Chains A and B, each alone.
Chain A
Amino acid sequence: IVMTQSPDSLAVSLGETATINCKSSQSVLFSSNNKNYLAWYQQKPGQPPKLLISWASARESGVPDRFSGSGSGTDFTLTISSLQAEDVAVYYCQEYYSTLWTFGQGTKVEIK
């Protein structure tokens, strides 16, 4: 499965909304449990990645509610509402539907 994120980078003003898209080359929706096998990670400079969202829309404990995930099948979105300075990072989507997992290429979020 190939994961393609868009855009590669974006600059958003503080307090505004950042929207990152992730498209998979085939569906990651498992029909037997109706779950999308899609995760979102945040990686700040010099740090390891941090899991934000699993199953396309389930926010991890402790992740601010300004982060939300949506979508199903092949098209997914990570939305950061009311962008804060500490949200500057690279964001990755990742599918875990197949036996060989893949990440998107990453989207760099900066402050405008």
Chain B
Amino acid sequence: QVQVVESGGGLVKPGGSLRLSCAASGFAVSGYYMSWIRQAPGRGLEWISYIRSGDDVIFYADSVKGRFTISRDDANNSLYLFMNSLRVEDAAVYYCARVQGSMDVWGKGTTVTVSS
């Protein structure tokens, strides 16, 4: 069964760090672009980063560039998001998605709360 499952969310203080994980099953992450998207409470969807298959080129939204790092572990068939210098406005549900042009497989998300 093709699916992705996010984990690693939690409560963190402003300025803190967190690592999110996305475990894939039913397909190899190495063969697809993989993306992170977030949704702040009551707000719309915001794309934040993706990593390309083949050449591992990475792109970030301006809102997270320099603070977040996306990576992929082919051996563990997983995607990660390292989040540093977290701000209150980073609080959101973070989704991992497989990309085939559009984002065709989404996880249920993991919640990040940033509060002192």
Contacts and interface: CB of A to CB of B under 8 A. Distances in A.
A29 interface: no
A94 B107 CA distance: 18
Contacts of B100: 54
Interface stretch (B10-18, B43-51, B66-74, B83-91): B43-51
Interface in B64-113: 95, 99-104, 106-109
Interface in A24-79: 37, 39, 41, 43, 47-51, 54-55, 60
Interface of A is mostly: loop
Interface residues of B, number: 21
Contacts of A103: 44-47
B44 A39 contact: no
Report the interface size class on chain A: 20 to 34
A96 B50 CA distance: 11
B45 A100 contact: no
Interface string A76-112: 0000000000000010101010011111111000000
A106 B104 contact: no
A54 B44 contact: no
Contact of A106 (B45, B101, B106): B45
B61 interface: yes
Interface of A: 37, 39, 41, 43, 47-51, 54-55, 60, 90, 92, 94, 96, 99-106
Given A47-B108, A101-B47, 11 more contacts: A37-B101, A48-B109, A49-B103, A51-B104, A55-B101, A92-B44, A94-B45, A99-B59, A101-B50, A103-B46, A106-B45
28 contacts: A39-B101, A39-B102, A39-B103, A41-B45, A48-B95, A48-B106, A48-B109, A49-B45, A49-B95, A49-B106, A51-B102, A51-B103, A51-B106, A54-B102, A54-B104, A90-B44, A92-B45, A94-B103, A96-B101, A99-B59, A100-B47, A100-B59, A100-B61, A100-B62, A101-B35, A101-B50, A102-B47, A105-B44
